[in-house]
Structure 1
Amino acid sequence: MKNTIKNIFIIFFSFFILGCGPQNKKRFKAKEIYKSNSLIITQISENAFIHTSFKQTNDFGNVPCNGLIVKDHNETIVFDTPTNDKSSDELIQWISEKLHAKINAVIPTHFHDDSLGGLLAFHKKNIPSYSYVRTIELAKENNFVIPENGFNDSVILKVGNKDVITKYFGEGHTRDNAVGYFPSENILFGGCLLKELEAGKGYLGDANVSAWSDTVEKVKKEYPDVKIVVPGHGDYGDGRLLDYTITLFKGQ
């Protein structure tokens, strides 16, 4: 009798640990939730969405360009604009109508048009923009729309009750490339500083290839708990994107 009770207890305990315990919480399954000719939105976690727009280039063809939306309650923050004002208007409308959320801020992570090409659309809707101070300087030099608020090292903004961090770690793809971090879901938006797995080096016209690996090493050290990493182009993944980018530019 004692053995029978003991066996039932073991079976019950095993079932709880393996099947019902909180550590076995079902993994979020990413899904594409919006698609038009100019904009794709993919939900990658409970409160994070990749927006993908397109840029026609001479060297690389029609390039998909990623940004990130993070959400808490009825508020959002957007990292990088779509590549033009039309796609940005489409994104702003989607956030308003489908997420029923306000956009607290837009954060271009560097001065290229795959990061701030649609900034005017946000400004016209009175959505404040933030960027690293060097991004503001380079936007001015290149006659692009200029982000409104600058930060010297990092800035922490609120989305709902959650923090959203944007920080500059050093040069790489450009002299001004910053990254965004959403601590509540351990999601890193690396922008064009980070490469998808198996990617080439891409456009290097404004790059500092000798500093690139060291910069990404600093990012990796700062965010050891990262679970999802979103690059500026291509597929998102995990911390391996940091390691891949470090290796790609090592010893350059």
Structure 2
Amino acid sequence: MILRKLFLILFISGSIFFLLKDLSGIQNPHQAPFTSKADSLYKDNIVYTSDNLIIEKLSGHTYLHTSFLNTNDFGRVACNGMIAVNGNEAIIFDTPADNTGSEELIKFVNEKLKSRINAVIPTHFHNDCVGGLEIFHDNKIPVYASVKTIQLLQKNNNNKEYSTPMNGFEDSLALNIGDKTVYAQYFGEGHTTDNIIGYFPEDKAIFGGCLIKEIDASKGYLGDANVNAWSETVSKIRQNYPQVEIVIPGHGDSGGKELFDYTILLFE
């Protein structure tokens, strides 16, 4: 009799366990979460790491570089940039946050990827994009920036000429690496009034910089932002690049077009 009761208790407990397990896998259709494709984007393919710099290979010709910026409000922040490589030539979007990381990045591209850096392009005027420009200039690497970015750098330098010479462009720029082309494009205001994105068609990869948020990110620093225009700007990018497969945000994990969708909703 005791054994029979024990068996019934175990049977009922087991049934409840499996029922709850099955129910836990059912998603509420009204609360469907955003999911990132970051795990499929060579997430574990780290090709370089140090205290100052991490480099991941995201696809055949596209790399993610991550450096670190010490801030008062957010602590030590990981900051992303993109490297596009083809035919032993490279273009870099955003410098690492400091000179040391920039020196390491230049050395990696030159020695490990055996590529000449044709240009570095900051996507906006904040330190996480331009912190290492001086090192690139010292290595005779051309710097390209939008006219808006150059003006903001000068304004934030007490209206004195910014120390690093730059080649200015208006709303778009196309540069070659080998037989492929890399693009920089301005779509509108968002994180800043000057934020641009980088696009490498060969790998269908976009570097969105701080204009694009990783999944579950907060709105972050808004001191120079136009939050009313942000969603519309990102919507334009999404519409202009329906074929994109890799999207790199300014901070956090890379993914796909779901990063556009998340950012649009965040600022609506």
User: Does the 8 Å contact 1:140/1:146 carry over to 2?
Assistant: no
Amino acid at match of 1:217: S
Write the distance in 1 (CA, Å) between the matches of 2:165 and 2:262.
31
Specify the alignment match of 2:253 in structure 1. Answer: 235
User: Does the 8 Å contact 2:137/2:164 carry over to 1?
Assistant: no
Specify the alignment match of 1:92 in structure 2. Answer: 106
Write the distance in 2 (CA, Å) between the matches of 1:192 and 1:62.
16
Specify the alignment match of 2:42 in structure 1. Answer: 29
Write the distance in 2 (CA, Å) between the matches of 1:214 and 1:78.
26
Write the distance in 2 (CA, Å) between the matches of 1:49 and 1:222.
22
Write the distance in 1 (CA, Å) between the matches of 2:123 and 2:168.
11
Write the distance in 2 (CA, Å) between the matches of 1:169 and 1:28.
26
Q: Which runs of 5+ in 2 are unaligned?
A: 1-39
Write the distance in 2 (CA, Å) between the matches of 1:123 and 1:242.
33
Superposition misfits of 4+ residues, deviation over 4 angstroms: 144-147
How far residue 77 of structure 1 moved from its aligned partner, in angstroms, is 0.3
Specify the alignment match of 2:119 in structure 1. Answer: 105
User: Does the 8 Å contact 1:49/1:68 carry over to 2?
Assistant: yes
Specify the alignment match of 1:20 in structure 2. Answer: none
**1:210 paired to 2:228:** yes
**1:249 paired to 2:259:** no
**Secondary structure of 2:261 counterpart:** helix
How far residue 29 of structure 1 moved from its aligned partner, in angstroms, is 3.4
What TM-score do you get using the length of structure 2 for normalisation? Answer: 0.82
How far residue 58 of structure 1 moved from its aligned partner, in angstroms, is 1.5
Aligned residue among 169, 172, 177 for 2:187: 169
How far residue 101 of structure 1 moved from its aligned partner, in angstroms, is 0.6
User: Does the 8 Å contact 1:136/1:146 carry over to 2?
Assistant: no
Describe how 1:108-187 pairs up with structure 2 within 5 A: 108-143=122-157, 145-146=163-164, 148-187=166-205
- The percentage of aligned residue pairs carrying the same residue is 55
Write the distance in 2 (CA, Å) between the matches of 1:195 and 1:146.
29
Specify the alignment match of 2:78 in structure 1. Answer: 64
**Secondary structure of 1:45 counterpart:** coil
Q: RMSD across aligned C-alpha pairs, in angstroms?
A: 1.1
Specify the alignment match of 2:18 in structure 1. Answer: none
User: Does the 8 Å contact 1:70/1:77 carry over to 2?
Assistant: yes
Specify the alignment match of 2:211 in structure 1. Answer: 193
Write the distance in 2 (CA, Å) between the matches of 1:120 and 1:142.
16
Amino acid at match of 1:118: G
Write the distance in 2 (CA, Å) between the matches of 1:70 and 1:62.
26
Amino acid at match of 2:61: N
**1:42 paired to 2:60:** no
What TM-score do you get using the length of structure 1 for normalisation? Answer: 0.87
Write the distance in 2 (CA, Å) between the matches of 1:50 and 1:145.
27
Q: Give CA deviations for 1:65-116 in whole Å, capped at 9, x if unaligned.
A: 0000000010000000000112101110111110011000000000001001
User: Does the 8 Å contact 1:119/1:145 carry over to 2?
Assistant: no
Q: Which runs of 5+ in 1 are unaligned?
A: 1-26
Write the distance in 2 (CA, Å) between the matches of 1:239 and 1:167.
17
